[in-house]
Structures are given as structure tokens and as C-alpha cells.
Amino acid sequence: VNLKAALPSLETADHVCHELRKPMAVIHAYAELLADEIAGPLNEKQKGYVEIVLQSVQRLELMISDLFETSGVVSWAENRPDQPTTFAPELPLGESRASGEGGADDHGIDDNPRA
Amino acid sequence: MTIRAPEQVDDAASGSAQSRLDEEIGAGEQPRLQTVLLIEDDHELAHALALRLQGTGLAVARAHDGPSGLEKLRLLQPDLIILDLRLPRMEGDRFLRFLRMTPEHSAVPVIVITGASDAALIERVENWGISRLMRKPVSPKELLRAALDILQAS
């Protein structure tokens, strides 16, 4: 499929990309909450099923990214590492409070907060 | 089986909205919780993310468009903002621009979450100063880690 040719503009492509990712984000978020047992404990079979949902939504996300990549719509995410940024120097607004690196595990976030 | 609908938050800027806000963020409790303002137009996603953030003791207020986000920003003085870029009535990049041009809020750290792939939009947002950029679908757990990292560093 030549998606780039089919799309009238990059703006439209971005909109399509965004609209596809919206329901995926909801599925991913709730599946992860279930997997982490935020909504209550799961038995082993339930954990397995939820894991399938999570893996599938991750595959779908990769497929969407690939689709837009191969069509020539460059995704910013692959080219822009998840790094903090600061204000542009010409802006007289002071410095932003960029995040520190690392230390995420120090917060004691547990996959299973009920444990 | 009963399925509870995600909590709806009134975006109106009124006295009653304030009391609901107080209830939402646990105002009056001591010590003051660190407050996160989550601006996301998808109610279901906002609910899921808020649920994860609240689980570690953060106070979370939600807004579902730019103007209500600005109102809650003024009322709550949040310690961190989590901002979607595609918002009704006021896009996230305009919200961010306003934030950075307002002296009392110019240093509030912001995590941007977005499903957009518009490189120009992303560059514009980065130029206004953000702490983290996360692409949808956002993992609630990863968002929580990022939020705690930033709050700890600020």
C-alpha cells in the first residue's frame, strides 16, 4: 500500500496516526493496570490472558509505526530519544526543570503493589 | 458483574467545581501531596493514568481540554503537568506556550504524551521546554516512573 500517495498531506497522516494510537493507548493502559493487579489479584490463567492482550497491542503499535515509516511519514519517536529538553536560549523565561536521568527503580514502583 | 464508569471531572471554573477539585486532590489533608495536573481529552485513558499515579500517593487533577487545564493550573499550582498535545478548544502546544510565558508557571515541569507524529509540532513543543516526551500508547507504569523522577529532581 502506498500510503504516502494515498494521503493528501502529512497533516492528515499525522491525524490518522494519532487516531489509531488513541484506542491503543486505552487498551494498553487498562491491560497494564490489570496485569499489575491494580484492580485486584489475578489467577495464573487471567495473567496469561492479559499478557496476550499487552503483547498484541505492542505488536499493533509496531505495525502502525512500520506502516508510517515505510510510507515515508517519518515518526519522530524513533529519531528522538526520550530526553529532556530545555527552553530555547532566546526565551527570557528562565530554565526549565528537566528531569534527572535514571533512578526510576529507586521509587520502589512495584508490578504488584498489593504484594 | 458491575462495571464502574471512569470518574467524570467537571471542567467548569466555579465554586462548586473548586470543592470538587478539593475533593479530587484531597485538599486540606496534611502534609500536602504533590499535585499532578493531567490534561488528556480521552476520559478513559486519563482515568487509567490517574489511577496509577494516585496509587503512589500523588494527588491527581484531571482536565480534558486546554481552557479547563488553564483554570486548574491557576487553582491548583501543580508540581507537574502531564499534557496531551491534541486537545479540544486549545491545542497542547498553545497551552505549553502560555505556561512558559506566565512567570508563576514558567518553571513547572511538563511531560508531554502524544500519539502525533508531526515532527514540526514536536520540535515546537521541545523548544518551549519539556521534561519528557512519551509516545502513545503510554505505559501507566512508565509514566509514573517518569513523574516520580521529575518530581524528585525538581
Q: How far is A60 from chain B (nearest CA, A)?
A: 10
Instruction: Tally Cβ neighbours within 10 Å of residue B111.
Output: 23
CB pair distance less than 8 Å for A10 and B118: yes
For residue A115, pLDDT over 90 is answered with no
Three-class SS state of B81: strand
- Least confidently predicted of A102-106, A109-113, B41-45: A102-106
Helix (H) and strand (E) counts in chain B: 6, 5
* Residues in chain A within 8 Å Cβ distance of B132: 82, 84, 99
What is the ipTM for the molecules in this complex? 0.70
Strand order in the sheet with B59-63: B59-63, B35-39, B80-84, B110-114, B132-135
Q: Please answer yes or no on whether A57 and B114 come within 8 Å at the CB atom.
A: no
Regarding beta strands B110-114 and B132-135, do their DSSP bridges make them parallel or antiparallel, or are they unpaired?
Answer: parallel
pLDDT tens track for B9-46: 333 333 444 444 444 444 444 567 899 999 999 999 99
* Selection from B132, B143, B48 nearest residue A35 by Cα: B48
Q: Evaluate if residue B131 carries a pLDDT over 50.
A: yes
The whole-number average pLDDT for the span A74-80 is 46
Taking CB atoms and an 8 Å cutoff, what residues of chain B touch A30? 44, 48
Shortest Cα distance, chain A CAs vs residue B15, angstroms: 32
Instruction: Answer whether residue A78 shows pLDDT above 60.
Output: no
Q: What is the pLDDT of residue A84?
A: 53
Please give the residue of chain B at the shortest CA–CA distance from A83.
B132
